[in-house]
Structure 1
Amino acid sequence: MTTSLVEDISSIVETTVAPNADEVDAAGAFPRDAIKALGEAGLLGLISSTEVGGRGAGLRSAAEVVEHLARACGSTAMVVCMHYCATAVLEAHGPRETREAIARGGHLTTLAFSETGSRSHFWAPLSTATADGDDRVVLDASKSWVTSAGEADSYVWSSTPLAAEGPSTLWLVPADRPGLDARGRFDGFGLRGNASRPVTAQGVVVGRDAMLGTDGRGDEIMLGVVLAHFHVLNAATSLGLMESAIGKAIAHVTTARLEHLGRRLADSPVTRANIARMRLIADQARTVLGDALAAIEGDRPDATLRVLEVKAAASEAAIAVTDLAMRVCGGAAFRKEGGLERYFRDARAATVMAPTTEAIHDFMGRALCGMPLFD
């Protein structure tokens, strides 16, 4: 990350993200102030091309930004993660007007893939797209979990193909279209402020020019563009949560005392061993992330496998690290004002976020056996 980028993200985390993180979690409130600040600093346009006014940064920089956000607020990190995933699709296939709006920091976008009928099998949409004359398309859908639902300015939307053979087609759907409904409130266990809730579409009309890529080839965009961004940025979120959990655990054990014994908690070899385990697990996950980024950047033959691995490895590592942190800190960890239990809760979301860890293991097995990822 460049010096200016480090300064920008550090300043926003310190002045806006961190001070609001507890309230975002407690109230399940969307982090609007943080998203506004990120937009004004040009960080919503981080991966937008310089041609449209963006910073033109790559996936590695995006991962570093998301990790910094996650160290303070997992919900904010996830909103930005999904924004970058959708932005990557729009940079490859979207209209210039929307790309410029994102680059200016005035447009938040997100993915709308998961559906009620196919659940976490996001690659198999049941949503329909029906031609209405030569220039219009009608979308009907029941999306199950959409990050920034009702808060984003647009959705990168999946449906069954309009006319072609194939598994899916992608669309750019403005959030203000009549027939879109994102009502309701997310009251979840973790990542409580990311506004992840259902979105339904009843007779939503878009132009044929809202199609992203080729009809029936949405799976190619999912694999070629979305997969790397989603997995790497999810892993970065997990790493951010781990780093904060480790920091909080160390701060606690080096200051909390057993006064009757005249010792700190850190004076126990068992406590120190658990701290060491946390550090080792996090460092292993960071190494996997670094190798995945190197594989992508170097266009290595094993890049797809490394991308598949990184989300599963980091999410499982985050569960292990935050669980150890809770154990090491004991009863104090369960007090909300300490903040540790928030990281414990947030870390668990990645394992069930599509594709789930179990699905990723199947994908990895398919890749290793020379089989297609999707049936």
Structure 2
Amino acid sequence: MNFIESIISEVIEPKALEVDRYGKYPRAAMDALGKAGLLGLLSAKEVGGMGEGLRAASSIVEQVGAACGSTSMVLCMHYCGTAVIEQHGPRDIREAIAAGRHVTTLALSETGSRSHFWAPVSTALAVPDQDTVRLDAEKSWATSAGQADSYVWSSRPLATKGLSTLWLVPGNAEGLSFPVVFDGLGLRGNASSPIVARDVRVSRSAMIGKDGGGFDIMMNNVLPHFQVLGASCYLGIMEAVTRKAASHVAKTRLTHLGQSLSDLATTRAYLARMRIKTDMARGLLLDTLDAIESGRQDAQLRVLEVKAAVGELAPEVTELAMRVCGGAAFRKEVGIERHFRDARAVTVMSPTTDLLYDFIGKAMIGMPLFD
């Protein structure tokens, strides 16, 4: 998959400043990734995909994240949705994803339950005498809102017990609206906006998995993919600022003193802290992948830990980069301040860092995570 490097250098990096400055959805990047087959990275070979797993997706998301956080988050959410569709979705959509013609995403978080993404308050109601279901919702945040071809959508169960049911909702479904255009601090091109559903009609066949089975899919499929791939996105940002800061220090001179910034022990210490924190995050991410792939007993704990750790480390590393690079870091074309802003989103994306700490603490003392 060496062609990812050419896509990054020829499409993603040159567009990153524009994507950020104007809050522009990275359509060109997604088209290029689709043409290269990378939107179908997780799609089975039987439907024309690459048949790769979470480790490969993690690597791609990290590399893209180092170039453009917005594009990386869009790709992260596409892979999260694809992982669900691959297990439970219709073949035609699976084939479209594999062919690079279809971008999907998650639409789980809601105004009524906020960061508790696993507990929707929105409704699904059977339409009498029809093989149709009516969906009504106020989704609080969905990456690629108004841009994706489909949404992996949550609601309360249709006719059974359970916390949730999942649906595959077409991006152009009548009754969907997007009341607020995203204009945020960071990840400005990821189109993460609310979605309102008013009398959206879908076929019963749009149900993903079983009625009332959404929680199990979220925990066993969505959560591991989102935690690992979200951490990968921000690890890419950490790696980018660490390298850029080191490059800036190495080449910047204090002419009047006949010195460079690299001659200052304090500056070198800051760089060392950035390198250590970035490598710590990478080590935990790789161990998390090992735990998942080998079915280790601590796999769930690692899944919880990896985004919580990156949620602390990414803001710290990018702040250190701003300090090391000084006034130069504030210039848009350098890219440091963009990475600094993008890294702030990791703490508030559900499950939030504070919520993850609670889950980890519960797991450590044997309490149920969700009660």
What interval of TM-score do these two structures reach, taking the shorter chain for normalisation? over 0.9
Distance 1:130 1:281 in 2: 49
Aligned to 2:361: 365
Question: Which deviates more from structure 2 when the two are superposed, residues 83-92 or residues 331-340?
Answer: 331-340
Contact 2:150 2:169 (8 Å CA) reproduced = yes
Distance 1:309 1:346 in 2: 20
1:63 equivalent in alignment to 2:24: no
Distance 1:137 1:368 in 2: 41
Contact 1:334 1:340 (8 Å CA) reproduced = yes
Distance 1:371 1:110 in 2: 31
Structure 1 unaligned spans of 5+: none
Contact 1:52 1:99 (8 Å CA) reproduced = yes
Report percent identity of matched pairs: 62
- The 5-angstrom pairing of residues 274-353 of structure 1 reads 274-353=270-349
Contact 1:292 1:303 (8 Å CA) reproduced = yes
- The 5-angstrom pairing of residues 127-206 of structure 1 reads 127-133=122-128, 134-206=130-202
- The 5-angstrom pairing of residues 4-83 of structure 1 reads 5=1, 7-83=2-78
Map Cα deviations across residues 251-277 of structure 1 (whole Å, 9 max, x no partner).
Answer: 111111111111000101111111011
1:244 equivalent in alignment to 2:263: no
Q: Secondary structure at the match of 1:44?
A: helix
Distance 2:90 2:370 in 1: 29
Residue 170 of structure 1 and its aligned partner are, at CA, apart by: 0.4
Residue 112 of structure 1 and its aligned partner are, at CA, apart by: 0.1
Task: Letter of the 1:260 partner, please give it.
Answer: H
Distance 1:238 1:197 in 2: 20
Distance 1:299 1:8 in 2: 31
Task: Compute the RMSD of aligned alpha carbons.
Answer: 0.8
Map Cα deviations across residues 303-348 of structure 1 (whole Å, 9 max, x no partner).
Answer: 0000000011112111111011111111111111211000000011
Distance 1:371 1:62 in 2: 32
Distance 2:307 2:53 in 1: 18
Distance 2:367 2:32 in 1: 44
Distance 1:29 1:198 in 2: 17
Contact 1:74 1:343 (8 Å CA) reproduced = yes
Distance 1:25 1:196 in 2: 13
Task: Letter of the 1:374 partner, please give it.
Answer: F
Residue 183 of structure 1 and its aligned partner are, at CA, apart by: 4.5
Residue 247 of structure 1 and its aligned partner are, at CA, apart by: 1.1
Distance 1:314 1:248 in 2: 19
Alignment partner of 1:214 out of 207, 210, 216: 210
Structure 2 unaligned spans of 5+: none
Aligned to 1:355: 351
Q: Alignment length, in residue pairs?
A: 370
Residue 180 of structure 1 and its aligned partner are, at CA, apart by: 0.7
User: Please, what TM-score do these two structures have when normalized by structure 1?
Assistant: 0.97
Distance 2:265 2:367 in 1: 48
Distance 2:360 2:194 in 1: 29
Q: Secondary structure at the match of 2:190?
A: coil
Contact 2:179 2:196 (8 Å CA) reproduced = no
Distance 1:183 1:106 in 2: 26
- The 5-angstrom pairing of residues 98-113 of structure 1 reads 98-113=93-108
Contact 1:150 1:183 (8 Å CA) reproduced = no
Which stretches of structure 1, 4 residues or more, deviate above 3 A after TM superposition?
none
Task: Letter of the 2:116 partner, please give it.
Answer: H
Distance 1:87 1:169 in 2: 17
Question: Which deviates more from structure 2 when the two are superposed, residues 220-229 or residues 125-134?
Answer: 125-134
Task: Letter of the 1:132 partner, please give it.
Answer: V
